[in-house]
Structure 1
Amino acid sequence: PLAKVRLEDGTEFYYVPPEGAYIGQRVEIGPGARPRVGNVLPLAEIPDGSLVCNVEIRPGDGGKIARRSGTYALVFAHEGDRVILRLPSGKEKIVTGRARATIGVVAGGGRIEKPLLKAGVAFYKERVHPKRWPKVRGVAMNPCSHPHGGGSHKRPGKPTTVSRWAPPGQKVGHIAARKTGRAKKRAKL
Protein backbone atom coordinates (compact mmCIF):
# COMPACT_ATOMS: atom_id res chain seq x y z
CA PRO A 1 0.00 0.00 0.00
CA LEU A 2 0.95 3.65 -0.43
CA ALA A 3 -0.01 6.76 1.50
CA LYS A 4 0.20 10.36 0.30
CA VAL A 5 1.93 12.68 2.78
CA ARG A 6 1.61 16.47 2.57
CA LEU A 7 4.35 18.46 4.30
CA GLU A 8 3.78 21.84 5.97
CA ASP A 9 5.39 23.65 3.02
CA GLY A 10 2.83 22.04 0.66
CA THR A 11 5.05 19.45 -1.02
CA GLU A 12 3.54 15.98 -1.37
CA PHE A 13 5.11 12.53 -1.62
CA TYR A 14 4.13 8.89 -1.21
CA TYR A 15 5.44 6.52 1.43
CA VAL A 16 4.82 2.96 2.62
CA PRO A 17 2.28 3.29 5.46
CA PRO A 18 2.44 1.12 8.59
CA GLU A 19 -0.45 -0.88 10.06
CA GLY A 20 -2.75 1.50 11.95
CA ALA A 21 -2.07 4.61 9.84
CA TYR A 22 -5.17 6.69 9.13
CA ILE A 23 -6.25 9.70 7.06
CA GLY A 24 -5.37 12.96 8.76
CA GLN A 25 -2.62 11.45 10.92
CA ARG A 26 0.32 13.75 11.68
CA VAL A 27 3.62 12.17 10.65
CA GLU A 28 6.97 13.38 12.00
CA ILE A 29 9.96 12.92 9.73
CA GLY A 30 13.67 13.33 10.46
CA PRO A 31 15.98 13.51 13.48
CA GLY A 32 14.25 14.40 16.74
CA ALA A 33 10.93 12.81 15.75
CA ARG A 34 9.18 10.76 18.42
CA PRO A 35 9.46 6.96 17.98
CA ARG A 36 5.72 6.43 17.32
CA VAL A 37 4.03 4.29 14.66
CA GLY A 38 4.13 6.04 11.29
CA ASN A 39 7.01 8.40 12.08
CA VAL A 40 10.21 8.30 10.02
CA LEU A 41 13.50 8.78 11.86
CA PRO A 42 17.15 7.68 11.75
CA LEU A 43 17.85 4.15 13.00
CA ALA A 44 20.26 5.53 15.62
CA GLU A 45 17.29 7.19 17.40
CA ILE A 46 15.00 4.13 17.29
CA PRO A 47 15.10 2.06 20.51
CA ASP A 48 16.14 -1.62 20.52
CA GLY A 49 13.29 -4.10 20.01
CA SER A 50 11.27 -1.74 17.79
CA LEU A 51 9.57 -3.07 14.65
CA VAL A 52 10.43 -0.94 11.61
CA CYS A 53 9.65 -1.02 7.90
CA ASN A 54 10.83 0.66 4.69
CA VAL A 55 14.41 0.71 6.01
CA GLU A 56 17.15 2.47 4.07
CA ILE A 57 20.44 0.67 3.45
CA ARG A 58 22.27 3.89 2.61
CA PRO A 59 21.05 7.24 3.93
CA GLY A 60 18.70 8.87 1.42
CA ASP A 61 18.05 5.84 -0.84
CA GLY A 62 14.30 5.96 -0.02
CA GLY A 63 14.01 2.59 1.71
CA LYS A 64 14.86 -0.90 0.46
CA ILE A 65 14.15 -3.38 3.30
CA ALA A 66 10.75 -4.62 4.58
CA ARG A 67 8.39 -2.89 2.13
CA ARG A 68 5.98 -5.71 1.29
CA SER A 69 2.60 -5.79 3.01
CA GLY A 70 2.75 -7.27 6.51
CA THR A 71 6.56 -7.33 6.73
CA TYR A 72 8.89 -5.69 9.22
CA ALA A 73 12.48 -5.66 10.43
CA LEU A 74 13.53 -5.70 14.08
CA VAL A 75 16.01 -3.18 15.51
CA PHE A 76 18.18 -5.77 17.27
CA ALA A 77 21.02 -3.71 18.76
CA HIS A 78 23.08 -0.53 18.46
CA GLU A 79 26.87 -0.70 18.08
CA GLY A 80 28.34 2.78 18.05
CA ASP A 81 27.10 4.56 14.92
CA ARG A 82 25.82 1.29 13.41
CA VAL A 83 22.59 -0.65 13.98
CA ILE A 84 21.99 -4.40 13.74
CA LEU A 85 18.68 -5.30 12.07
CA ARG A 86 16.94 -8.67 11.98
CA LEU A 87 15.41 -8.92 8.52
CA PRO A 88 12.15 -10.67 7.51
CA SER A 89 14.28 -13.59 6.23
CA GLY A 90 15.78 -14.07 9.70
CA LYS A 91 19.22 -12.83 8.66
CA GLU A 92 20.93 -10.03 10.54
CA LYS A 93 22.26 -6.97 8.72
CA ILE A 94 24.42 -4.10 9.93
CA VAL A 95 23.27 -0.69 8.67
CA THR A 96 24.51 2.82 9.41
CA GLY A 97 22.58 4.66 12.13
CA ARG A 98 22.01 7.62 9.77
CA ALA A 99 19.75 5.49 7.53
CA ARG A 100 16.05 6.17 8.12
CA ALA A 101 13.16 3.81 8.77
CA THR A 102 9.42 4.00 9.39
CA ILE A 103 8.24 2.75 12.78
CA GLY A 104 5.71 -0.10 12.57
CA VAL A 105 4.69 -3.07 10.42
CA VAL A 106 3.73 -2.46 6.78
CA ALA A 107 -0.05 -2.22 6.32
CA GLY A 108 -2.04 -4.83 4.40
CA GLY A 109 -0.83 -7.94 6.22
CA GLY A 110 -2.59 -11.17 5.23
CA ARG A 111 -3.27 -9.90 1.71
CA ILE A 112 -2.12 -13.13 0.02
CA GLU A 113 -4.15 -15.37 2.36
CA LYS A 114 -7.42 -14.37 0.69
CA PRO A 115 -8.30 -16.89 -2.06
CA LEU A 116 -8.45 -15.68 -5.67
CA LEU A 117 -11.83 -17.49 -6.17
CA LYS A 118 -11.99 -17.19 -9.96
CA ALA A 119 -9.75 -17.27 -13.00
CA GLY A 120 -10.50 -13.64 -13.86
CA VAL A 121 -8.88 -12.44 -10.63
CA ALA A 122 -5.88 -14.70 -11.28
CA PHE A 123 -5.66 -13.22 -14.78
CA TYR A 124 -5.31 -9.66 -13.51
CA LYS A 125 -2.88 -10.76 -10.79
CA GLU A 126 -0.62 -12.66 -13.19
CA ARG A 127 -0.87 -10.51 -16.32
CA VAL A 128 2.43 -8.84 -15.44
CA HIS A 129 3.93 -12.36 -15.84
CA PRO A 130 2.19 -13.55 -19.04
CA LYS A 131 4.49 -16.58 -19.47
CA ARG A 132 3.63 -17.88 -16.00
CA TRP A 133 -0.16 -18.06 -16.24
CA PRO A 134 -2.30 -19.80 -17.44
CA LYS A 135 -0.46 -23.14 -17.26
CA VAL A 136 -1.79 -25.51 -19.92
CA ARG A 137 -1.20 -29.22 -19.20
CA GLY A 138 0.89 -31.14 -21.69
CA VAL A 139 -1.80 -33.86 -22.06
CA ALA A 140 -4.28 -31.18 -23.14
CA MET A 141 -2.05 -30.08 -26.04
CA ASN A 142 -1.61 -31.36 -29.58
CA PRO A 143 1.22 -33.82 -30.25
CA CYS A 144 3.12 -31.14 -32.16
CA SER A 145 3.14 -28.91 -29.07
CA HIS A 146 4.17 -31.32 -26.30
CA PRO A 147 5.48 -34.91 -25.95
CA HIS A 148 2.40 -35.78 -23.84
CA GLY A 149 -0.08 -34.31 -26.32
CA GLY A 150 -2.54 -35.96 -28.70
CA GLY A 151 -4.76 -39.01 -28.49
CA SER A 152 -8.43 -39.32 -27.67
CA HIS A 153 -7.75 -39.79 -23.98
CA LYS A 154 -6.36 -37.89 -21.00
CA ARG A 155 -3.09 -39.71 -20.51
CA PRO A 156 0.43 -39.19 -21.86
CA GLY A 157 0.39 -42.35 -24.01
CA LYS A 158 4.05 -43.10 -23.33
CA PRO A 159 6.27 -43.44 -20.25
CA THR A 160 6.65 -40.11 -18.45
CA THR A 161 10.14 -40.93 -17.17
CA VAL A 162 12.87 -39.45 -19.32
CA SER A 163 16.65 -39.78 -19.37
CA ARG A 164 18.90 -37.23 -17.70
CA TRP A 165 20.69 -36.83 -21.06
CA ALA A 166 17.57 -36.34 -23.17
CA PRO A 167 17.68 -33.35 -25.52
CA PRO A 168 15.76 -30.15 -24.71
CA GLY A 169 12.10 -30.48 -25.67
CA GLN A 170 12.06 -34.16 -24.80
CA LYS A 171 12.80 -33.40 -21.13
CA VAL A 172 9.27 -33.29 -19.74
CA GLY A 173 7.69 -35.41 -17.05
CA HIS A 174 9.82 -37.25 -14.47
CA ILE A 175 13.42 -36.35 -15.34
CA ALA A 176 15.90 -39.08 -14.28
CA ALA A 177 13.40 -40.45 -11.75
CA ARG A 178 14.78 -42.95 -9.24
CA LYS A 179 11.30 -44.36 -8.73
CA THR A 180 7.74 -43.39 -9.65
CA GLY A 181 4.28 -44.20 -8.41
CA ARG A 182 2.82 -44.20 -4.93
CA ALA A 183 5.05 -45.01 -1.97
CA LYS A 184 4.66 -48.54 -0.67
CA LYS A 185 3.56 -48.99 2.94
CA ARG A 186 6.34 -50.19 5.19
CA ALA A 187 5.70 -53.12 7.48
CA LYS A 188 5.85 -52.10 11.14
CA LEU A 189 8.31 -54.08 13.24
Structure 2
Amino acid sequence: MGKRIIPRARGKGGPRYVSPSHRFLGSVGYYSAPGKGNVVDIVHDPGRSAPVAIIKFEDGKEILHVAPEGISQGQWITYEGEPITGNVLSLSKIPEGTKIFGVETSPGSGPKICRSSGVFATVVSRIGEKVTVLFSSGKSKIFDGRCRATIGIPAAGGRVDKPWVKGSKHGFQMWSRGKIFPRSKGVAMTPADHPYGGRSKRPRPSRSVSRDAPPGAKVGSISSRRTGKRKGR
Protein backbone atom coordinates (compact mmCIF):
# COMPACT_ATOMS: atom_id res chain seq x y z
CA MET A 1 0.00 0.00 0.00
CA GLY A 2 1.32 3.41 -0.92
CA LYS A 3 2.10 6.20 1.48
CA ARG A 4 0.29 9.50 1.79
CA ILE A 5 1.80 12.19 -0.41
CA ILE A 6 3.20 15.30 1.29
CA PRO A 7 0.31 17.69 0.45
CA ARG A 8 -2.14 15.26 2.02
CA ALA A 9 0.03 14.81 5.11
CA ARG A 10 0.27 18.59 5.48
CA GLY A 11 -3.48 18.91 5.29
CA LYS A 12 -3.88 16.64 8.31
CA GLY A 13 -2.19 19.29 10.44
CA GLY A 14 0.47 17.24 12.23
CA PRO A 15 3.40 18.81 14.12
CA ARG A 16 5.86 18.11 11.29
CA TYR A 17 4.31 20.68 8.96
CA VAL A 18 2.87 23.19 11.44
CA SER A 19 4.35 26.68 11.45
CA PRO A 20 5.98 27.28 14.89
CA SER A 21 3.92 30.35 15.72
CA HIS A 22 4.66 29.89 19.44
CA ARG A 23 8.15 31.20 18.70
CA PHE A 24 7.00 34.35 16.92
CA LEU A 25 7.18 37.64 18.81
CA GLY A 26 3.77 38.89 17.76
CA SER A 27 2.14 41.19 15.25
CA VAL A 28 3.53 44.58 14.29
CA GLY A 29 1.31 47.63 14.56
CA TYR A 30 1.02 51.37 14.91
CA TYR A 31 0.20 53.53 17.92
CA SER A 32 -3.41 54.66 17.89
CA ALA A 33 -2.70 58.40 18.32
CA PRO A 34 0.07 60.92 17.58
CA GLY A 35 2.88 60.48 20.06
CA LYS A 36 6.52 59.68 20.63
CA GLY A 37 8.22 56.42 21.55
CA ASN A 38 11.71 55.20 22.32
CA VAL A 39 13.44 52.27 20.63
CA VAL A 40 14.05 49.98 23.59
CA ASP A 41 15.61 47.12 21.64
CA ILE A 42 16.04 45.68 18.14
CA VAL A 43 15.51 41.93 18.05
CA HIS A 44 15.22 39.07 15.58
CA ASP A 45 11.80 37.52 15.00
CA PRO A 46 11.89 33.92 13.70
CA GLY A 47 8.67 34.60 11.81
CA ARG A 48 9.97 37.58 9.83
CA SER A 49 12.72 38.37 7.39
CA ALA A 50 13.33 41.85 8.83
CA PRO A 51 14.37 42.66 12.42
CA VAL A 52 11.78 44.05 14.82
CA ALA A 53 12.11 47.18 16.94
CA ILE A 54 10.41 47.32 20.33
CA ILE A 55 8.99 50.84 20.77
CA LYS A 56 8.01 52.02 24.26
CA PHE A 57 5.72 55.06 24.38
CA GLU A 58 5.35 57.68 27.04
CA ASP A 59 2.29 55.99 28.55
CA GLY A 60 4.26 52.76 29.02
CA LYS A 61 2.71 50.88 26.11
CA GLU A 62 5.05 48.80 23.93
CA ILE A 63 4.45 48.18 20.21
CA LEU A 64 6.45 46.17 17.69
CA HIS A 65 7.66 47.98 14.55
CA VAL A 66 9.47 46.58 11.52
CA ALA A 67 12.91 48.10 12.00
CA PRO A 68 14.03 50.42 9.18
CA GLU A 69 17.58 50.57 7.85
CA GLY A 70 19.68 52.98 9.94
CA ILE A 71 17.61 52.94 13.13
CA SER A 72 19.43 52.52 16.47
CA GLN A 73 18.63 51.61 20.04
CA GLY A 74 17.66 54.64 22.10
CA GLN A 75 16.35 56.60 19.10
CA TRP A 76 12.98 58.35 19.39
CA ILE A 77 10.19 57.53 16.95
CA THR A 78 7.65 60.29 16.35
CA TYR A 79 4.15 59.94 14.95
CA GLU A 80 3.07 62.74 12.61
CA GLY A 81 6.46 64.46 13.06
CA GLU A 82 9.29 65.22 10.66
CA PRO A 83 9.64 62.93 7.58
CA ILE A 84 12.86 61.25 8.73
CA THR A 85 13.81 57.57 8.89
CA GLY A 86 11.73 55.63 11.39
CA ASN A 87 8.94 58.17 11.90
CA VAL A 88 5.34 57.28 11.10
CA LEU A 89 3.30 59.81 9.12
CA SER A 90 0.08 60.03 7.19
CA LEU A 91 0.61 59.67 3.45
CA SER A 92 -0.76 63.16 2.88
CA LYS A 93 2.14 64.59 4.94
CA ILE A 94 4.94 62.63 3.28
CA PRO A 95 6.88 64.49 0.54
CA GLU A 96 6.83 63.10 -2.98
CA GLY A 97 9.75 60.81 -3.80
CA THR A 98 10.09 59.54 -0.21
CA LYS A 99 10.71 55.83 0.34
CA ILE A 100 8.21 54.25 2.70
CA PHE A 101 7.12 50.85 4.01
CA GLY A 102 4.48 49.42 6.34
CA VAL A 103 1.68 51.14 4.43
CA GLU A 104 -1.87 50.94 5.77
CA THR A 105 -4.56 49.78 3.35
CA SER A 106 -7.19 51.87 5.15
CA PRO A 107 -6.91 54.46 7.93
CA GLY A 108 -6.15 52.71 11.20
CA SER A 109 -5.66 49.24 9.70
CA GLY A 110 -2.03 49.00 10.78
CA PRO A 111 0.95 48.21 8.53
CA LYS A 112 -0.11 45.79 5.80
CA ILE A 113 2.05 46.39 2.71
CA CYS A 114 5.86 46.36 2.25
CA ARG A 115 6.92 44.71 5.48
CA SER A 116 9.61 42.28 4.27
CA SER A 117 13.31 43.07 4.43
CA GLY A 118 14.42 45.53 1.75
CA VAL A 119 10.92 45.98 0.29
CA PHE A 120 9.75 49.58 -0.01
CA ALA A 121 7.39 51.84 -1.95
CA THR A 122 7.66 55.43 -3.15
CA VAL A 123 5.20 58.29 -2.80
CA VAL A 124 4.60 59.53 -6.35
CA SER A 125 1.90 62.19 -6.23
CA ARG A 126 -0.96 63.71 -4.24
CA ILE A 127 -4.32 64.77 -5.65
CA GLY A 128 -6.63 66.15 -2.99
CA GLU A 129 -7.04 63.57 -0.24
CA LYS A 130 -5.68 60.75 -2.41
CA VAL A 131 -2.02 59.70 -2.59
CA THR A 132 -0.47 57.56 -5.33
CA VAL A 133 2.19 55.09 -4.22
CA LEU A 134 4.54 53.26 -6.59
CA PHE A 135 5.72 49.75 -5.66
CA SER A 136 8.96 48.03 -6.66
CA SER A 137 6.95 45.74 -8.97
CA GLY A 138 6.15 48.77 -11.14
CA LYS A 139 2.49 48.85 -10.14
CA SER A 140 0.95 51.90 -8.49
CA LYS A 141 -1.97 52.18 -6.11
CA ILE A 142 -4.06 55.08 -4.83
CA PHE A 143 -4.48 55.33 -1.04
CA ASP A 144 -6.47 57.48 1.31
CA GLY A 145 -4.25 60.33 2.50
CA ARG A 146 -5.03 59.43 6.13
CA CYS A 147 -3.33 56.04 5.77
CA ARG A 148 -0.03 55.95 7.62
CA ALA A 149 3.38 54.60 6.64
CA THR A 150 6.90 54.44 8.04
CA ILE A 151 9.70 56.48 6.48
CA GLY A 152 12.67 54.46 5.21
CA ILE A 153 13.47 50.94 4.02
CA PRO A 154 13.08 47.77 6.12
CA ALA A 155 16.42 46.52 7.43
CA ALA A 156 18.23 43.37 6.23
CA GLY A 157 17.76 44.21 2.58
CA GLY A 158 20.91 42.26 1.67
CA ARG A 159 19.57 39.04 3.15
CA VAL A 160 19.18 37.32 -0.23
CA ASP A 161 22.56 38.45 -1.59
CA LYS A 162 24.63 35.92 0.36
CA PRO A 163 24.28 32.45 -1.18
CA TRP A 164 23.71 29.26 0.80
CA VAL A 165 27.07 27.49 1.10
CA LYS A 166 25.58 24.20 2.31
CA GLY A 167 22.17 22.70 1.64
CA SER A 168 21.77 21.77 5.30
CA LYS A 169 21.92 25.43 6.32
CA HIS A 170 19.15 26.19 3.87
CA GLY A 171 17.19 23.27 5.27
CA PHE A 172 17.47 24.50 8.86
CA GLN A 173 16.20 27.92 7.79
CA MET A 174 13.21 26.38 6.02
CA TRP A 175 12.39 23.85 8.74
CA SER A 176 12.38 26.58 11.40
CA ARG A 177 9.21 27.94 9.75
CA GLY A 178 7.60 24.63 8.97
CA LYS A 179 8.53 24.79 5.28
CA ILE A 180 9.25 21.75 3.12
CA PHE A 181 12.88 21.27 2.11
CA PRO A 182 14.05 19.82 -0.18
CA ARG A 183 11.09 19.65 -2.54
CA SER A 184 11.29 16.50 -4.62
CA LYS A 185 9.39 15.96 -7.85
CA GLY A 186 6.76 13.26 -7.83
CA VAL A 187 8.34 11.53 -10.83
CA ALA A 188 11.61 11.21 -8.89
CA MET A 189 9.95 9.30 -6.02
CA THR A 190 9.20 5.61 -5.64
CA PRO A 191 5.77 4.24 -6.52
CA ALA A 192 5.02 3.84 -2.81
CA ASP A 193 5.67 7.53 -2.10
CA HIS A 194 3.81 9.11 -5.00
CA PRO A 195 1.41 8.13 -7.79
CA TYR A 196 3.86 9.58 -10.34
CA GLY A 197 6.83 7.58 -9.00
CA GLY A 198 8.57 4.55 -10.44
CA ARG A 199 11.33 3.67 -12.85
CA SER A 200 9.09 3.10 -15.83
CA LYS A 201 9.45 5.65 -18.58
CA ARG A 202 5.74 6.10 -19.10
CA PRO A 203 4.67 9.75 -18.74
CA ARG A 204 2.76 10.54 -15.61
CA PRO A 205 -1.02 10.87 -15.86
CA SER A 206 -2.26 14.37 -16.52
CA ARG A 207 -3.77 16.29 -13.63
CA SER A 208 -5.84 18.47 -15.94
CA VAL A 209 -9.49 17.46 -16.19
CA SER A 210 -12.07 18.75 -18.63
CA ARG A 211 -14.66 21.10 -17.20
CA ASP A 212 -17.30 18.96 -18.90
CA ALA A 213 -16.12 15.71 -17.29
CA PRO A 214 -18.84 13.67 -15.57
CA PRO A 215 -19.10 13.45 -11.77
CA GLY A 216 -16.61 10.97 -10.40
CA ALA A 217 -14.10 11.75 -13.12
CA LYS A 218 -14.07 15.47 -12.41
CA VAL A 219 -11.20 15.43 -9.90
CA GLY A 220 -7.79 17.07 -9.95
CA SER A 221 -6.98 20.36 -11.67
CA ILE A 222 -10.26 21.24 -13.34
CA SER A 223 -9.76 23.02 -16.67
CA SER A 224 -6.40 24.36 -15.49
CA ARG A 225 -4.38 26.85 -17.51
CA ARG A 226 -1.13 25.57 -16.01
CA THR A 227 0.03 22.97 -13.48
CA GLY A 228 3.07 22.60 -11.23
CA LYS A 229 4.61 24.88 -8.67
CA ARG A 230 5.75 28.32 -9.68
CA LYS A 231 9.51 28.75 -9.75
CA GLY A 232 11.54 31.84 -8.98
CA ARG A 233 12.04 34.20 -6.06
With normalisation by structure 1, the TM-score equals 0.73
2:63 counterpart SS class: strand
Quote the Cα distance in structure 1 between the aligned partners of 2:128 and 2:208: 56
Aligned to 1:180: none
The alpha-carbon deviation at position 20 of structure 1 amounts to: 0.6
Alignment of 1:29-178 (within 5 A): 29-30=79-80, 33-127=81-175, 128-130=177-179, 132-136=180-184, 141-146=189-194, 147-149=196-198, 156-160=199-203
Question: Relative to 1, partners in 2 of residues 1:91 and 1:165: Cα closer, same or farther, differing over 3 Å?
Answer: closer
Distance 1:144 1:116, change over 3 A: same
User: What percent identity do the matched residue pairs reach?
Assistant: 41
CA distance in 2, matches of 1:148, 1:39: 55
Dislocated runs of 4+, deviation >3 Å = 136-148, 159-169
The one-letter amino acid of 2:159's match is: R
Partner Cα distance (1:67, 1:75) in 2 = 16
1:119 to 1:163, Cα distance in 2 relative to 1, 3 A: closer
CA shift at 1:76, angstroms? 0.3
Structure 1 unaligned spans of 5+: 150-155, 170-189
For 1:7, the equivalent position in structure 2 comes to 57
Larger Rg: 1
Q: Indicate the RMSD between aligned Cα atoms, in angstroms.
A: 2.7
1:27 is paired with a residue of what secondary structure? Answer: strand
1:176 paired residue number: none
- What is the identity, as a one-letter code, of the residue corresponding to 1:23? Q
For the 8 Å contact 1:148–1:158, the answer to whether it is kept is no
Residue ranges of structure 2 left out of the alignment (5+ in a row) = 1-50, 210-216, 221-233
Aligned residues: 161
Tell me the CA shift for residue 158 of structure 1: 1.7
1:84 CA drift (Å): 0.4
With over 3 angstroms needed to count, the CA separation of the structure-2 counterparts of 1:142 and 1:161, relative to structure 1, is closer
Rounded to whole Å, the distance in 2 between the matches of 1:109 and 1:35 is: 21
* Alpha-carbon distance in structure 1 between the residues aligned to 2:103 and 2:134: 11
Q: CA deviation at 1:79?
A: 0.5
CA distance in 2, matches of 1:164, 1:17: 44
Instruction: Give how far 1:163 is off.
Output: 6.4
AA in 2 matched with 1:79: I
Deviation of 1:164 (Å): 7.9
Instruction: Tell me how far apart the structure 2 counterparts of residues 125 and 158 of structure 1 sit (CA, whole Å).
Output: 35
Deviation at 1:140, TM superposition (A): 5.8
Distance in 2 (CA, whole Å) between partners of 1:48 and 1:66 is 18
